[in-house]
Chains A and B, each alone.
Chain A
Amino acid sequence: MEDVRLQEGLSACMNCGVCTGVCPAAEFYNYDPRQIVTIVQSRDDEAIERLLKSDTIWYCGECMSCRPRCPRGNTPGYVIQALRTLSQKLGFFVESEKGRQQLALKRTIGESILATGYCVHPKLVKPEMHPEQGPVWSWIYDHDTDLFPKFSPNYMKEGAGAVRRISDDSLQELKRIFEVSGGMEFFDNIERHSERKAREMGYESADQSYLNDVYTTNSGDHH
């Protein structure tokens, strides 16, 4: 693994458990960042492969609360980022429930980036998929074209301002960046492995029904 986040994130962990003590994911899930660091430090290939195929590496919220507190200057959150990247490159992510969710993230956030230039866009936050957003958001969603122009001269139009339409030239540059720097290949790889796994699990393909299942399934075994 030549990820710079591993060089930056891990040296001589002394197993003190401070990271676990402050970790919001450790509080909520059956998850212990100290253990992850220990396994990676062990260089035990089999144990690392098991980790890459497990739910465990997908619990972290990447809040980086562990970073300023570690007495050794380690960042378990960076180690997790490096492991998640590797798990996807090797196609291991589809072997766990939480890992398979990467397809949902690619299809929502990833595709929004390329199509709109935004990670999140008002029309992406559909009230039926986001009941927690409440009635005010539903009202905003239904009346966006009457509301956003109060705060933005160019809502969904080209020009400066909040939620402006990002020009085709800028979107083209963004797409080229994804092509040149490996982002597009990374997306394709997520699709490829998800397709394989979907068929293996009895779906016709990594279609809408597989996506819905991936997005909503929770075995309840994570605590």
Chain B
Amino acid sequence: MKRSSWKEYQKEIADDRYYYARSCIRQNFFPGSEAAFLDIMRNDLGKDVLDDPLHTSCTGIGYHSDIVPLETIMTVVARQFALMTAAGYENFTSSCITSFGIYTEILETWHEFPETEARTRENLFKATGREFRIPRNIAHTSDVIFHNREQIAARMVHPLMNVETGAPLKGVEHIGCHYAKIFPKSGIGGSEFPYVLAGMIEAWGGEVVDYPERRHCCGFGFRNYLVQANRGYSVANSQKKFASMAPYRPDFIVCNCPGCAMFLDKWQYTIAEMEGVTYGPNGRGIPVITYEEMAGLVLGYDPWQLGMQMHQVDVEPLLDKMGVKYDPDAKYLGNNGKLIGKPEQAVVNCCSQERTYEVRQ
């Protein structure tokens, strides 16, 4: 791989004053990551980010399940832009890759087919009385963290290195199909040389694993996961990636898209339960993290404050390698220290003895 190829796909990322659009999936499965993004941006980096309660889902999962028509999602997106406009912001940052792909696709469609923008404006006005300006800048929240990666490195508490050996930790990065496959120019590094997460890993002391199925889909496939009868598609695609990355012995997987993070975590559980196969060392799974969690750990945040107890594959092996201190007894406490029991044990975290994936030396 030409290591500098990503530089051909640079894009402008606003430096401050962002309108923040939350992600359905990230809020559901990684609410601590969204909290961490706001904390890092506001408290560590001193930026202005508006967390506006008025916005809704972009309806993107409905659109890509083909139950929400294009005209409808365009109007929903227009409403988000109208809220941004009304709040006095011009830079839009989205916490979801599906949404990000939709925002870029819709802006491009409006540009190519101006009559679709005109119709959307009419629909929005008729439905809500609102009007909007096109954002000056659109970025995924990972672009924003990427943009600030050196400032984060300057405040680094725990680099992505093995505290015992000093060796860089090996990270598999998964940028998610809709980050750059829809419009390669909209993603850092494009779709072939993705650099948004790789840039963070390298800036924070780690090493990026380049493996054959790096660009393969995680397997979400919208209707292929959302309808129970189709889920074989989803797990089979994740499995293909795990089998391809395992020989490189990654210490962690970091994801751009909240959906991918969830699938690569949960399908490791499913495969371990069904087949006894795990892909990490010592018969365990490979920890899967979000880039907000990665940034948070690097900055010295507590992993349970980041919400890493909500992952199915235990993250402790990664925390131990990084030398992150944590209280094991606090992991499963509820709000205000309330005792709320613990999840049941799973094969992916402890007990795969037989058919651990053959990890080549």
Contact = CB atoms under 8 A, between A and B. Distances in A.
Q: Do A and B bind each other?
A: yes
A136 B55 CA distance: 29
Given A160-B52, A160-B53, A88 B66 contact: yes
Contact of A135 (B34, B109, B344): B344
Nearest to A171: B56
Nearest to A154: B53
B1 interface: no
B8 to A, nearest CB: 14
Interface string A109-149: 11001000111111001000100111111111001001111
Interface of A: 3-5, 7-8, 24-25, 27-29, 58, 60-65, 67-68, 81, 84-85, 88, 98, 101-102, 104-106, 108-110, 113, 117-122, 125, 129, 132-140, 143, 146-152, 154, 158-164, 166-167, 170-171, 173-174, 176-183, 186-187, 190, 215-218
Contacts of B215: 65
A70 B283 CA distance: 40
B216 interface: yes
27 contacts: A4-B116, A24-B219, A28-B233, A29-B233, A61-B219, A63-B220, A63-B221, A68-B192, A85-B69, A98-B230, A105-B66, A110-B68, A113-B59, A113-B62, A135-B345, A139-B344, A151-B32, A154-B53, A160-B52, A161-B51, A176-B127, A181-B127, A183-B69, A183-B71, A186-B72, A187-B67, A215-B228
B43 to A, nearest CB: 15
Given A109-B61, A180-B127, A67 B79 contact: no
Contact of B128 (A113, A137, A151, A177): A177
A162 B27 contact: yes
A215 B343 CA distance: 28
A103 to B, nearest CB: 9
Interface stretch (B11-19, B139-147, B174-182, B319-327): B174-182
A142 B353 CA distance: 30
Interface in B93-140: 101, 109, 112-113, 116, 123-124, 126-128, 130
Contacts of A162: 22, 27, 31, 34-35
Interface of B: 22, 24-25, 27-28, 31-32, 34-35, 51-57, 59-62, 64-72, 74-76, 79, 101, 109, 112-113, 116, 123-124, 126-128, 130, 177-178, 180-182, 184, 190-192, 215-217, 219-224, 226-233, 235-237, 240, 266-267, 269-270, 273, 305, 307, 309-312, 332, 334-335, 338, 340-346
A58 B217 contact: no
A108 B226 contact: yes
Given A24-B221, A186-B72, A173 B182 contact: no
B59 A119 contact: yes
A98 B227 CA distance: 10
Nearest to B22: A162
Nearest to B68: A183
Nearest to B233: A28
Contacts of A136: 309-312, 343, 346
A113 to B, nearest CB: 5
A61 B343 CA distance: 32
A121 B25 CA distance: 8
Contacts of B223: 58, 61, 98, 101, 105
A132 B267 contact: yes
B67 A186 contact: yes
A8 B105 CA distance: 11
B266 A134 contact: yes
A81 B66 contact: yes
Contacts of A137: 266, 312
Given A113-B62, A177-B75, A138 B227 contact: no
A150 B335 contact: yes
